[in-house]
Amino acid sequence: MKVKIDADLCTACGLCTDSVPQVFKMGKDVAEVIAADVPANIEGAVKDAASDCPAEAILFS
Ligand code: SF4
pLDDT of residue 3: 98
Ligand 1, pocket residues at CB < 6 Å: 5, 10-17, 31, 53-55, 57-58
Whichever domain contains 44, its CATH number is 3.30.70.20
User: How many Å apart are CA 47 and CA 27, to the nearest integer?
Assistant: 21
**What b/e sequence results for 33-48 when a residue is b if at least 16 CB atoms lie within 10 Å of its CB, and e otherwise?**
beeeebeeebeebbbe
| 37 secondary structure, DSSP code | B
| Whole-structure pTM value | 0.95
pLDDT tens sequence across 4-46: 999 999 999 999 999 999 999 999 999 999 999 999 999 999 9
Its domain, for residue 29, covers 3-60
User: How many Å apart are CA 29 and CA 43, to the nearest integer?
Assistant: 25
Is 31 within 8 Å of 5 (Cβ atoms)?
yes
Choose which residue among 6, 15, 20, 25 to substitute to test ligand 1 binding: the one with the highest number of ligand atoms within 8 A of its C-beta: 15
CA 56 to chain centre: 10
Count: domains in the chain: 1
